[in-house]
Amino acid sequence: MRKAGTRGETTWLAIREAAVELIAIHGFEGFNLRELAARCGIKAGSLYNHIDSKEGLLKTLLESIMADLLREFDEQVAVIDDPIEQIRAAVRLHILFHTRRRTEVIIGNTELRSLSPASYQAITALRDRYENNLRQIISKGAARGVFHIPDAKITSFAIIAALTGVGHWYRSNGSLSQKRLIEIHEQLVLQALGVVDETAEATGSEVTRHAATS
Amino acid sequence: MRKAGTRGETTWLAIREAAVELIAIHGFEGFNLRELAARCGIKAGSLYNHIDSKEGLLKTLLESIMADLLREFDEQVAVIDDPIEQIRAAVRLHILFHTRRRTEVIIGNTELRSLSPASYQAITALRDRYENNLRQIISKGAARGVFHIPDAKITSFAIIAALTGVGHWYRSNGSLSQKRLIEIHEQLVLQALGVVDETAEATGSEVTRHAATS
Amino acid sequence: MRKAGTRGETTWLAIREAAVELIAIHGFEGFNLRELAARCGIKAGSLYNHIDSKEGLLKTLLESIMADLLREFDEQVAVIDDPIEQIRAAVRLHILFHTRRRTEVIIGNTELRSLSPASYQAITALRDRYENNLRQIISKGAARGVFHIPDAKITSFAIIAALTGVGHWYRSNGSLSQKRLIEIHEQLVLQALGVVDETAEATGSEVTRHAATS
Amino acid sequence: MRKAGTRGETTWLAIREAAVELIAIHGFEGFNLRELAARCGIKAGSLYNHIDSKEGLLKTLLESIMADLLREFDEQVAVIDDPIEQIRAAVRLHILFHTRRRTEVIIGNTELRSLSPASYQAITALRDRYENNLRQIISKGAARGVFHIPDAKITSFAIIAALTGVGHWYRSNGSLSQKRLIEIHEQLVLQALGVVDETAEATGSEVTRHAATS
DNA sequence: CATGAATGAGGCTTCATTCAT
DNA sequence: CATGAATGAAGCCTCATTCAT
């Protein structure tokens, strides 16, 4: 929790960044404030000029991550009406967010358990809102007869899990471009949603040329 | 870590079970041996009649989980030839394993980072072998023209992530039966793999009746 | 291990002093940090604001003891040329150092085995340098025909052992003055070195008056 | 303490031998019963079929070492009348005992502090008896005008310390024979005692040929 | 704001010792 | 006699947190 009325904005930013990285590496319980302070060029005691407590820091981090994700969703996905284009935008956003902000997202998924009950509920409420957003798209598409799936809720879980998984293995410095990464997942998701349209056909054949990596 | 056939066998089993549960709740760094011992009805120091160290315990647990998963794969999936039936069996196994042994699997995915480099490599080698098994099925199906997917490797990652995610939300005491859970994922996966057959149509319509939870 | 000139300096000095005493009493393995801390008026954990580890503390102590001894040797003994006067000065220094700093010297001789191999080598190198200094005096005296001894190396070992032994039984509050203690050992050492001069005769008779304690 | 009425004499001997070695290496506080048991091919708990306690074992060891030394003194030294020959015999015995039974003697000197007060007194009484024996020889020689020394008590301390020191550096597999080692120390001791006789002259010159190791 | 030092709680681990089998 | 397992006490060390300077 950023303390109110502090100057030293740069120190706070350094703390934020270093904390995300260290938590991603060691987990919340496994990282320690001394190392965090060292990475920021200060001593452990000085951290308390910027944070309330170790757990407060975690809550702040998780909150802002979820808030950012939700805001981007509102800006880029919620404004679209067509289910197919909307799911495409959602896939794009989710993958971009989960690759560009890999470490932040990892702790967002893993470290919830270290929050106090109150904080836990606050953060999971945001997460649920995001998941619900995605489910709505799928339900709407199914209602309009564009998607053909057995269960909107389970399908949304499966899609979110699949897309989130990308953050665990994708590295932007590899041979696979982010653009291509997104294309592939758009197709996979649309296929999973039972969409069979001319575009998919075209993309499918073009795609096949790059396939069979294994 | 422990010789079999002795009287302390029951203690060791209790340790194993309690450790899995506690690690799943608090994470490896967050759980402590005192509580583990208390759950087994012994004192903390006595744990060391059964384990080498806290980390050694983690390694033992993760190793046996992965070994079990691989063994079941060999018995139930590897023996099938037809890609569609094989992927069905793989989905079934993965979901059953990840729901029946929920907590064990969660720590298998989350706590790898707490292992020493040597142990880490040993365990990830097993995990890679499993992932590779799945990828082979998909590649084979693509080569035979049964599956139509952009990239076997990425597709396998996506499918594994989607199926693994089930363990995070599914509860066997809910209204959704395990049988139904598997059916739904079989369909989702087959659709994602670009399989279009008459069975899917039928299942799809039947399925729609149970769907739309949201 | 600790930067000088800070306020905690007094704590560090207290730790040093108490550690020497406790190690002399119980041995390095036998003393514990809780008691050390208690003697310094702090809690055990606070020790780690001043030391790296229990063993690091031992190394620091032994190092500074040997460094002091070597420095005093350089100042008081190395600057003399005449072998007889030099060996007299060496006896005087050794006894003064081993009685004034009794406890420190005891741990210096006894607790080497508790050091890590690296630290062990560092400290024994200093000790060897000191022993070598003494041997050089004896060799020089023998070469100049002043000392008559069978083997310079063994003789130096014997003399060092004899003088070091003083620290084990001498108490400065007894009836034997430090001045007299040194005189006696000067004579014993010179006799052992085969020096026969008129002074010894004189001292010998004077000495006899105080002797025969047993 | 060897438990009464036990068979398994060989196990007890193995314990004794291994204990001496381990204590010499790690000190009494630093060695542990598990390792001791392992060296004897048994488990830690089984040690208690042979000993009363860790400290009881130490007492037994120290006691028997001192008893052996005293017995040998009575047999080999006490029976001589002439002070010079007697001191020669004492030097020989002390060096032989302290080289042949190096490790035992080291723990005899170092680990006394780990005994309970009662045991401590029992063992130091034996040690004092031995030291007193030596002092008597020196006093007698001084009284007879054969030795010329400032103080019999201090001289005996110095000689004992010098001879005991041999155990710390002498290795029987080196180039220095035990016979020669004894000769050198006989000369050193006799010189220190102020003995100037024809024998010393002869030995001295012969000895000079081997000297100047450094 | 930063620091050095202290705290107190707790964590992992070791170890002498006991005892039923 | 030997063993495996348990105990309880203790040991070293870490760490979030506080506070005077």
Residue whose Cα is closest to the C1' of F19:
A45
**Are C148 and D208 a contacting pair at CB < 8 A?**
yes
Q: What six digits make up the tokens of D208? A: 């000079």
**Are A154 and B181 a contacting pair at CB < 8 A?**
yes
Range list of β-strands (E), chain B: none
How far, in Å, CA of D195 to CA of D138, rounded? 12
B114 CB below 7 A from strand F atoms: no
**With contact defined as beta carbons under 8 Å apart, do D42 and D11 qualify?**
yes
**Are C204 and D150 a contacting pair at CB < 8 A?**
yes
For residue B206, what pLDDT band results from cuts at 50, 70 and 90? very low
Q: What is the pTM assigned to this prediction? A: 0.85
Predicted confidence at residue C202, as pLDDT, reads: 40
Predicted confidence at residue C214, as pLDDT, reads: 38
**Are A25 and B113 a contacting pair at CB < 8 A?**
yes
Predicted confidence at residue C197, as pLDDT, reads: 58
Predicted confidence at residue D98, as pLDDT, reads: 94
Give per-residue pLDDT as tens, B88-145. 999 999 999 999 999 999 899 899 999 999 999 999 999 999 999 999 999 999 999 9
A121 CB below 7 A from strand F atoms: no
> Which residue from A minimizes the CA distance to B106?
A110
Q: What six digits make up the tokens of D74? A: 């009575």
> Distance, in angstroms, between B67 CA and closest chain A CA?
22
Q: Is the pLDDT of residue C128 over 50?
A: yes
Predicted confidence at residue D197, as pLDDT, reads: 56
Predicted confidence at residue D49, as pLDDT, reads: 94
Predicted confidence at residue B197, as pLDDT, reads: 58
**Which of D2, D188, D53, B41 lies closest to C191 in space, CA to CA?**
D188
Predicted confidence at residue A10, as pLDDT, reads: 87
Predicted confidence at residue A4, as pLDDT, reads: 52
A78 touches chain B (CB under 8 A): no
Q: Which of residues 94-133 of A touch B (CB under 8 A)?
A: 110, 113-114, 132
> Which residue from B minimizes the CA distance to A211?
B151
DSSP C144: T
Low-confidence ranges of chain D (pLDDT < 50): 198-214
| Long-range interactions of A14-22: CB distance < 8 A, separation 24+ | A14/A39, A14/A40, A14/A41, A15/A40, A15/A47, A15/A50, A15/A51, A15/A57, A16/A61, A19/A57, A19/A61, A20/A61, A20/A103, A20/A104, A20/A107, A21/A103
Give per-residue pLDDT as tens, C25-80. 999 999 999 999 999 999 999 999 999 999 999 999 999 999 999 999 999 999 99
Partners of B58 on chain A (C-beta within 8 Å) are none
Predicted confidence at residue D180, as pLDDT, reads: 95
**Which of A89, A91, A90 lies closest to A184 in space, CA to CA?**
A91
Nearest-by-Cβ selection for B211 from A150, A165, A168: A150
- Who contacts A22 (Cβ-Cβ below 8 Å, separation ≥6)? A31, A35, A36, A39
Predicted confidence at residue B109, as pLDDT, reads: 87
- Who contacts D73 (Cβ-Cβ below 8 Å, separation ≥6)? D90, D93, D130, D133
Predicted confidence at residue D210, as pLDDT, reads: 35
Q: Which of residues 7-46 of C touch D (CB under 8 A)?
A: 25-30
Predicted confidence at residue B172, as pLDDT, reads: 86
Predicted confidence at residue B27, as pLDDT, reads: 93
Mean pLDDT of chain C: 88
Mean pLDDT of chain B: 88
Q: Is the pLDDT of residue B54 over 70?
A: yes
Q: How large is the angle between the packed helices B152-169 and B178-192, nearest 10 degrees? A: 160
